[in-house]
């Protein structure tokens, strides 16, 4: 595909996303219908789509409108690309821009790609870091790996990856974290990955697990296990008896295979069969994902006040369920930057639940290098 044809493909995918389709699904449908597109084309179109979604507001201003065409035009102008050479109207390339597509410079919250309604809450939560964090959320996220210390040392994993063309450097957020510097697209086919030496996991997510009070012999429940990223990371930290649960068990479908690959034992349990007490319950609650908007930029634009209110109600329910199942610790975590989902939820829990205290807290933002995360360690008195 020519660069112009790739831009046109991104325009059609973005039009579907703007109409409500999830970006991953719209990209998959486009790729299935475009057998002529090679892996390089698919990667280029994907990058255009996700870059445009991260900058949806500012790109719409620069491109003259919030359409697929406006977003791609605006993104390319932002990147300093030669738009006239791409929007030629020749072959499969998009038509040249008209005068109504001249666009304008974005300003204020628009230039930060911040939704207006969320700005006060984000400003309050992030304080003087607000603009710097919003600026980082407009960029691509680094790719991080977690070294599975049950299978390899950090140096051993680095050497195995390097032999397969994947360059890494140590990241200070966690002593298991490697940032990928080269060859990210080779990871999933590498032997190091297939043999369970490394997992894809954000460095801040690893830092959260590193901060948990885990020791040999503990019984641990991962109450919101999802795909099991933190389940596996906890298993590598200490010899614990691990149970994984999720309100939607289908989310744990890959966990048995991932656990086998990592050399880890995990018991999957349905809600009706859960029996406490556990020494520690990890409540990695569903949230706005605002700390991970670099990876999932659509979430920034789809969040609404009603959705946020639903999420905080679920977070309260998850904390209450965790308290009923824990004999000692609750680790409440989110990948949100909003105090309403973080410290406010921990405070509300402590206010309505006698017999618990706050034993520790950690806040991470993309300024620390990884995703934004919050962790509250709650201790039964």
Ligand X SMILES: C[S@@+](CC[C@H](N)C(=O)[O-])C[C@H]1O[C@@H](n2cnc3c(N)ncnc32)[C@H](O)[C@@H]1O
Cis status of the peptide bond prior to 277, with omega within 30 of 0: yes
- Give the residue from 340, 347, 334 showing the smallest Cα distance to 313: 340
**Which one of 123-131, 188-196, 224-232, 302-310 is the stretch in contact with ligand X (CB under 6 A)?**
224-232
**Shortest Cβ distance from residue 351 to ligand X (Å)?**
20
276 binds ligand X (CB under 6 A): no
Shortest Å, Cβ 325 to ligand X: 11
Q: Is 246 in the site for ligand X (CB under 6 A)?
A: yes
Asked if 349 touches ligand X (CB under 6 A), the answer is no
CB 226 to ligand X: min, Å? 3
| Closest CB 42 distance from ligand X, rounded Å | 25
Copy the structure tokens of residue 363. 């806040």
Instruction: Tell me the residue ranges of DSSP E strands in 193-258.
Output: 198-200, 219-222, 241-244
Indicate whether 284 belongs to the interface with ligand X (CB under 6 A). yes
Cβ partners under 8 Å of residue 148, min gap 6: 157, 176, 196, 197, 198, 199, 232, 236, 262, 263
Complex with ligand X: residue 193 or 223, whichever CB lies closer: 223
Q: Which span (7-15, 33-41, 246-254, 297-305) binds ligand X, by CB under 6 A?
A: 246-254
**Residue 181 in contact with residue 165, Cβ under 8 Å?**
no
- Residue set of the binding site for S-adenosyl-L-methionine: 246, 284
Q: Is 369 a binder of ligand X (CB under 6 A)?
A: no
- Judged by beta carbon, residue 286 or residue 369, the one nearer ligand X is 286
Which is it for the CA torsion 269, 270, 276, 282, positive or negative?
Answer: positive
Q: How far is the C-alpha of 66 from the C-alpha of 23, rounded, in Å?
A: 16
Using DSSP bridges, classify how beta strands 267-268 and 241-244 pair: parallel, antiparallel or unpaired. Answer: parallel
Q: Map tokens 């920034």 to a residue.
A: 300
**How many binding residues for ligand X (CB under 6 A)?**
16
Catalytic, 335? Answer: yes
Point out which residues bind ligand X (CB under 6 A).
223-227, 229-230, 246-248, 251, 284, 286, 314, 317-318
């Amino acid at each position: 595909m020519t660069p112009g044809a790739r831009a046109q493909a991104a325009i059609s995918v973005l039009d579907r996303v703007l109409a409500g389709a999830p970006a991953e699904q719209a990209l998959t449908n486009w790729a299935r219908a475009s057998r002529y597109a090679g892996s390089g084309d698919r990667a280029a179109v994907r990058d255009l789509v996700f870059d445009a979604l991260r900058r949806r507001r500012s790109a719409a201003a620069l491109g003259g409108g919030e359409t697929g065409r406006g977003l791609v035009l605006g993104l390319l102008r932002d990147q300093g690309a030669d738009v006239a050479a791409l929007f030629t109207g020749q072959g499969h390339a998009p038509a040249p821009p008209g005068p109504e597509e001249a666009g304008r410079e974005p300003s204020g919250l628009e230039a930060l790609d911040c939704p207006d309604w969320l700005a006060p809450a984000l400003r309050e939560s992030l304080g003087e870091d607000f603009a710097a964090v919003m600026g980082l959320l407009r960029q691509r996220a680094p790719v991080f790996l977690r070294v599975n210390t049950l299978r390899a040392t950090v140096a051993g994993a680095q050497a195995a990856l390097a032999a397969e063309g994947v360059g890494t450097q140590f990241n200070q957020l966690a002593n298991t974290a490697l940032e990928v510097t080269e060859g990210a697209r080779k990871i999933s086919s590498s032997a190091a990955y297939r043999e369970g030496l490394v997992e894809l996991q954000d460095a801040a997510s690893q830092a959260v697990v590193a901060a948990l009070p885990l020791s040999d012999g503990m019984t641990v429940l991962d109450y919101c296990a999802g795909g099991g990223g933190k389940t596996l990371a906890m298993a590598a930290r200490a010899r614990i008896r691990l149970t994984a649960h999720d309100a939607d068990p289908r989310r744990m479908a890959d966990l048995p295979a991932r656990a086998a690959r990592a050399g880890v034992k995990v018991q999957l349990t349905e809600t009706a069969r859960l029996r406490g007490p556990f020494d520690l319950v990890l409540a990695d609650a569903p949230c706005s994902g605002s700390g991970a908007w670099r990876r999932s930029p659509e979430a920034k634009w789809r969040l609404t006040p009603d959705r946020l209110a639903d999420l905080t109600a679920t977070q309260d329910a998850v904390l209450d369920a965790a308290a009923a199942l824990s004999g000692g610790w609750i680790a409440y975590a989110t990948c949100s930057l909003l105090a309403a989902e973080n410290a406010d939820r921990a405070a509300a829990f402590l206010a309505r639940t006698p017999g618990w205290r706050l034993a520790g807290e950690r806040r991470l933002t993309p300024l620390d290098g990884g995703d934004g995360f919050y962790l509250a360690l709650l201790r039964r008195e």
